Amino acid sequence: MDVVVVESPAKAKTINKYLGRNYKVLASYGHVRDLPAKDGSVKPDDDFSMSWEVDGPSSKRLTEIAKAVKDADGLILATDPDREGEAISWHVLEVLRQKRALKDKPVKRVVFNAITKQSVLDAMANPREIDAPLVDAYLARRALDYLVGFTLSPVLWRKLPGARSAGRVQSVALRLVSDREAEIERFVREEYWQIAALLDTPRADRFEARLTAFEGKKLQKLDISSQAQAEDIKAMLEGAAFKALSVEAKPTKRNPAPPFTTSTLQQAASSRLGFSAVRTMQIAQRLYEGMDIGGETAGLITYMRTDGVQMAPEAITGARSAIAKEFGEKYLPEKPRYYSVKAKNAQEAHEAIRPTDFSRTPAAMRPYLDADQARLYEMIWKRAIASQMQPAEIERTTVEIEAINGLRSAGLRAVGSVIRFDGFIAAYTEQKDEDSQDEDDKRLPEIRADEALARDKILATQHSTEPPPRYSEASLIKKMEELGIGRPSTYTAILKTLEDRDYVTIDKRRLIPQSKGRLLSAFLESFFEKYVEYDFTADLEEKLDEISDGKLAWKDVLRDFWKDFSASVDDIKELRVTDVLDALNEVLAPLVFPEREDGSNPRICPKCGSGNLSLKLGKYGAFVGCSNYPECGYTRQLGDAANGNGENGAGLEDGTKSLGKDPYTSEEITLRSGRFGPYLQRGEGKEAKRSSLPKGWTPASIDHEKAVALLSLPRDVGKHPESGKMISAGLGRYGPFVLHDGTYANLESIEDVFSIGLNRAVSLLAEKQSKGRGRNGGTPAALKELGEHPDGGAITVRDGRYGPYVNHGKINATLPKGKDPASVTLEEALVLIAEKEAKGGGKKPARAKASSAKKPAAKKATGKKTTARKKEE
């Protein structure tokens, strides 16, 4: 018997079915070792030696694997087919060698791009050795990230309190978001007018044409800059005669895009489905690892971390067969389509993301998938099938029109498109970039050259130029990919880190840099400019790729980087904090010293009138204060607009800002900065009502109306039609919710708390009750649903009497101290549940009942049960 090691228990269960009794498939539960989060885990002075640490759960899992290997004939490492998967196989092998579990047993490495029986069996028939250059690339990347983080962090804590950490790639992504915000702040709007004419053909068909020239001069977008100019042109056109000078129809072909890569999948899922990058990858992981399809377990898509755009020959054959069956022979090109891209790393360029079997249509799979899984699978299937279909045939028509009024003339243009053959569009239509302007793609009626056109109406509309949009997750990933920053497996982690550390918030799917993020980015750009340059980071990524391709030695790359980087850090250590603040005052002037309505100097203290405002550093971050401190106690939070009349701060200290009186209690409402971030307070003392700011709400966005609304929570929604008890909506520890008779149901956003009606609230509560009883019913309502256990049954996070825990059936496993329930992953939960189960955890009501037969025993048993419950919950 051979032992096969994969990463996840769900995958282990599926693969075990394929391989049969001669194999024992065990899960490593992801990475088994990592660098300890302390100084000295990577030693540059000792030729970059690295100290690895195995955590508690992984240690037990590795012990199980070692025990199984000792009794086995050989070891097969079958972790994921990318750099991270190669690293996990290497870690497992290193630990097993240390445990002397292998002896002379054969070790093989197999990879499969899809979890189907055929793919797994083909991989088992073609084993290889562990790819040493790929492991070296992982070691170099992990060492670089560690050295940057642990070398910069002490500098940040001393020079920039409130900044939690900096990362090699994460800081460059933060710079992109911060630079875009600075562009928006510098942007000056310009007003302009557009002129259009609604015209009728002799056949009474109406269409719109836009002004492109006036009195012999071609017009650019901003040329009509005043209302008087626009009214003059409009009056001229209202008395003009119109004639079609030329009609040009050009047939064009539009080819389909290749199947999805990791980044294009995340972008499309964001724009089409509204999924975050994290959510997209969670669903894709589930589709890849395997679903129960009518008694057969199979992966529905290929591996979802890839930058490759090509499909395997057998997949192309399957796609062409499905096209002929689902759409018809006319949609099938004579020859297959082949795509190529300049792969950043040939050893990581796997197949594109595609269905494992094109005959599994979205409609056929819908009964086996939940709503989000079905939507993502349908998008992947359609994009992949479209990539092998005929091009769309489009006729684009341009009509040039002349307007004459006496001696004055104007030129107008009408543009439209007609789809003559839909081709691949029948399966999948590319959406326009979410940040681009819509083109005029209207269909035009029949228009003939030299015919007169009748004027119906002349439209003059005022517009203003718009600043560049903030990045969304999708557009930031696209930009990083264009710049060569990050790789398919890193995008999601980068975005999550920026949000988790409160460097950015996401509002209406847009990334908004927070003050601490802007400060950190400005600090790094001022004193570590080289290391947040886009070209430098991209060049380093290329070197890491060359390591994985066997072209560079990984320690040579580390030596070159460390020599200059450590010297830069040593230089910064000598800087005084005042030097840092002076530099940041300059770089962040629009944020720190916004212009005042009265035009006065934004750097003069509005309270004392003589002091200069400057950034100050406190225990919990930066704020703006007066140079005349302590005589003048004026302060305000970074990012708050300055009030020239001295009311900002209202004479209060410690960054407290007055927002006015509560209309119902007449108590003062203030915005304050506390240990855990900004919060609102009504009144003073122990009885004061307080509320933290909900996710996505920044201190700068809080006004009197929002403050009153937050402090008035919870809000009564209405009485439940069955129980007659009140349903309330509020903001709690785990976000917005509705509550009825002990049952909580989560809401998507804080806006829902203020707008949700009775019918929707009742529906949400009913859904929640169908998944788990309310607190008054015994089992607490689920705070978060993580997914299915490999043995069946849902895994949830709940909040019990003694704290948060994960639940599967009758097994409750307490979360480690300090672990945020909202951040628990399915893999972490599986480990906790496995440990609890190994200890004999779970509720055993039958034993408890039996033990109550004798009074002394009952008393003792009750005590034991109470202790057990404390540990579980």
Q: Quick one: which of 492, 491, 498 has its CA closest to 514?
A: 498
Selecting among 29, 138, 303, 744, the annotated active-site residue is: 303
Angle CA(305)–CA(273)–CA(332) in degrees, nearest 5? Answer: 70
CA distance 813 to 826: 13
**In this structure, what token pair is assigned to residue 555?**
């320690």
Length reported for the chain: 873
Q: Distance (Å, rounded) from C-alpha 308 to C-alpha 260? A: 8
d(CA 265, CA 308): 12
The CA distance from 594 to 186, in Å, is: 11
> Is 221:192 a contact under the CB 8 Å cutoff?
yes
Q: Do residues 288 and 303 lie in contact, with contact meaning Cβ atoms separated by under 8 Å?
A: yes
Token pair belonging to 376: 């993502």
- Which amino acid belongs to residue 70? K
Give yes or no: 331 in active site: no
Please name the residue that has the structure tokens 């919060």.
679
Query: Whose CA is closest to 532, among 773, 174, 79, 66?
Result: 174
**Looking up tokens 């490999």, which residue turns up?**
790
Report which DSSP code applies to 501. T
What's the CA gap between 444 and 462, in Å, rounded?
25
Cα 734 to Cα 255, 502, 664, 784, 797, distances in angstroms: 47, 16, 28, 9, 11
Pair type for strands 206-214 and 217-218: antiparallel
- Helix ranges (H only) for 780-854 are 826-838, 845-851
Report the distance separating Cα 330 and Cα 376, nearest Å.
27
- The C-alpha atoms of residue 337 and residue 388 are separated, in whole angstroms, by 6
Contact 484, 344 (CB under 8 A): yes
Instruction: Please answer whether residues 851 and 845 qualify as being in contact, where contact means their C-beta atoms are separated by less than 8 angstroms.
Output: no
Residues belonging to the active site: 303
